[in-house]
A and B are shown apart, each in its own frame.
Chain A
C-alpha cells in the first residue's frame, strides 16, 4: 500500500516536472519560408544558401525572443512560375510570417508582388534587378544584400584611381545581371577618367568562350568580367589558354571568383581583382569566427551565397527581438526591421537605406594563394556603400535603368 502511494506520488511529481517546461514551450513558432533554386544550374549556390540558413538557426539555438523558429525550404527549380507556386503554398498552406531566399531576379519579379499583397515581409536574396527596390508596390520587400550595381559603382572608380588601368574591355553574360554589374562599372570608371573600349556579351548558353576571347581588343589594360559558377571556371581557364593572362589585368564582378567557384579553380585565377560585400579571407574577428565554424560544420569555405543568408538571418533575428517576437503585427514588424542595424555580421555592419536596400562595406579583393589554398585577399575596404553610390537617390531613380545599351559605349572601338 505504501509502495503504491510512493510510486503514484513519484509518477505525479515527475509528470508535473515535465509539464512545466511544456507549458512554456507552447509558444507558437515563427515560420520562415525559404525559396531557393535547389534544382537547376544554380543548385550549388542554393545549397550554400540553405546550409547557411540552417547554421544561422542552430547558432541561436533554434529560437528567438522566446519563440521557436521553424524553417520551410522550397525549390523553385529556377522557374518564376514554380517560385510563385511555392510562395503561394508557403503563405496559404504553411502560414509563414516571413519569406526569404529567392536568388534569381526573374523569380523575384514573380514572387514580390504576391507577398506584397499578402503583407508578408520578404527578405530577398536576389541581387538583380537593381531597380526593384525603387518600386512602390514592393513595400514589403527588403534586400539585405547588395544590388547588382551596388558593388560595381565603387569598384569602377577605385579601379581607375588605384590600378593605373585606363582602357578596359567589359565581358559578361548577356542578361540583366551581366548588364547591371558591368554597366555600373562602366559608368563610374568613365566618370573617373577611364575609357571602356569594348563590350562583349556572351550568350547565356555559350559553352565555349574562345570565339569571344579572340575578339578581345589587345589595346586594353584590363578586362572586367562578370561570370559565376561554371562560367567563371571556363572563362578563367580559356582566358589563360588564349594567352591573354599576362597581357592585361583581370578584374571581375562579385561572383567571378567567389568562394563557390574559387574552390575549383587553379593558378589561372591568381591575381584576379574583384569586388564584393564579402570575402572568406576577411580579417575581422566576426568573419574569421564565421569561416571557422562554417568550415567545421560544412567542410567548405563559406561563399558569398552562404554569408548573405547567414548575415541576413542574424539581422532578421535582431528585428524579431526588437518587436519581442510579435511578428504577427506585420506592419509594426516591417517598420522595426527597416530600422534594425547590426555591426558584427561576418561581412561587417548592415543597415537598410530608405529604399529597403542594404548599406554595407564593399571589399576589393585579389586572388592569392595562402597556405596552399586560393583566397580572396582583401586589399581595400570601401565603407558604408549604398545602392545609389554618391548619386542623389531621386535623380538616380529618375534615370533609365542600366541595360545592354545604357550607358552607351561612347569610346568603344
Chain B
C-alpha cells in the first residue's frame, strides 16, 4: 500500500505527521528538550538557506554564519540600544543581511568552486574581525547581552520556552514553505540546471550569473531570519556567533542531512544539535562521536541521510 503511493504524497503525509507531533507533543516534553528543539529549528532555517546555495545552486559557501551573525548583531543593537520592538528589529536585521549578501555576492560570484568557498570564508572572517574590533558598536568579545524576548501582544510573552518554541516552529514552517515554493518554481529548477551544467544553461540563453546572485541574496535573507531568532533565543550575541565554525556547522548539517532536499538540512540540524546538547552530557568525547558520524556518512551515505533513504535501490521495484 505504501509502496504504491507516489513518493511526494508519502513525503507530505510524513511531514504533516511530524509537524503535528511537534506541535501537540510540545507541552509534554521537558524544558531542556524544548530548548534543544528550538535550537534545532533555528539552525534548521539557517541550514535550509545554505542548502539553497549548496544543494540547489551547487555553490558551496563557507560564509553562512556571516548573514546570520550580521542580522543577529543588527537585531541586538536595535533591541538593546534603540529599544526597538522585535518586528522592527527583524525588519532591519533581515534588510541588512540582504544588503550584505548583495555586496558579498558581487565579490564571491566572480569565482567558482573551491575559490568561491575560499572567498566566502574570507568575507566571513572580515565580518568576524569587525564584530571583534568595532567595539563601540558590537561591544567586542564580550558581546551584546540582555536582548529581550519579544512580547507579542498583551498576553503572549516569548520568555517561557514553550511559547518561544511555538513561535520558532511557526517561523520555521513559514520559512520551509517559502523555500519549498522557491525551489519548485521555474527559478529554482533553473538553479538545479545551473548546478548540473552551467555552460549548457548559458547556451540555452539563461542569465546564469543573475540566477546565482539572486539565490545568494535569498539565502542571505533566510539566514538573516534565523539570526534574529538566534539572538532573541540566547539573549546575547558574541563574535563566536559569526566565526567560521558556525559556517562550518551549517555546511556539515546540510552535508549530513542530504544536500538538495531542504528537509535533509533540517535532519542534519537536528542531529548536530542533539550531539551538542544531549550527547555531550554523557560523553566528554562527543566531538569524536560527531567525527565518526561524519566519516560513516561520507563512506556509506555520500548523499546524506535523506539521500540514503531516497536512493534508487531503496525504492521497491514496482512491476
Contacts and interface: CB of A to CB of B under 8 A. Distances in A.
A109 B35 contact: no
Contact of B238 (A77, A106, A403): A106
How would you classify the secondary structure of chain B's contact residues: helix, strand, loop or mixed? helix
Interface stretch (B56-64, B191-199, B216-224, B276-284): B276-284
Interface stretch (B11-19, B140-148, B305-313): B140-148
Contact of A110 (B145, B277, B280): B145
Interface in A87-106: 88-89, 92-93, 105-106
A403 B135 contact: yes
Q: How large is the interface on B (under 10, 10 to 19, 20 to 34, 35 or more residues)?
A: 20 to 34
A245 B280 CA distance: 45
Contacts of B276: 77, 82, 85
B77 to A, nearest CB: 16
Contacts of B31: 88, 92-93
Contact of B141 (A85, A105, A114): A105
Residue among B39, B135, B236 having the largest count of chain A Cβ atoms under 10 Å:
B236
B9 interface: no
A85 B287 contact: no
A106 B135 contact: no
How would you classify the secondary structure of chain A's contact residues: helix, strand, loop or mixed? helix
Contacts of A403: 135
Contacts of B142: 105-106, 109, 129, 176
Interface residues of A, number: 28
A29 interface: no
Interface string B80-108: 00000000000000000000000000000
A88 B143 contact: no
A84 B234 contact: yes
B235 interface: yes
Given A38-B284, A89-B277, A110 B236 contact: yes
A369 interface: no
Interface in A368-413: 403-404
Interface in B87-135: 132, 135
B51 interface: no
A230 B35 CA distance: 36
Contacts of A176: 140-142
B241 A81 contact: yes
A137 B241 CA distance: 24
Contacts of A114: 235
B145 A113 contact: yes
A80 B32 contact: no
B32 A88 contact: yes
A265 B51 CA distance: 48
A105 B276 CA distance: 21
A176 B32 CA distance: 32
A212 interface: no
Contacts of A39: 284, 287
Interface in B27-45: 30-32, 35-36, 39
Interface string B140-169: 111101100000000000000000000000
A92 B30 CA distance: 8
A79 B39 CA distance: 15
12 contacts: A75-B280, A77-B276, A80-B234, A88-B31, A106-B141, A106-B238, A110-B143, A110-B145, A110-B235, A110-B238, A113-B145, A175-B140
Given A110-B143, A113-B146, 17 more contacts: A75-B284, A79-B240, A80-B143, A81-B234, A82-B276, A84-B234, A85-B35, A85-B276, A85-B277, A105-B142, A106-B240, A109-B145, A109-B238, A110-B234, A110-B238, A175-B141, A176-B141
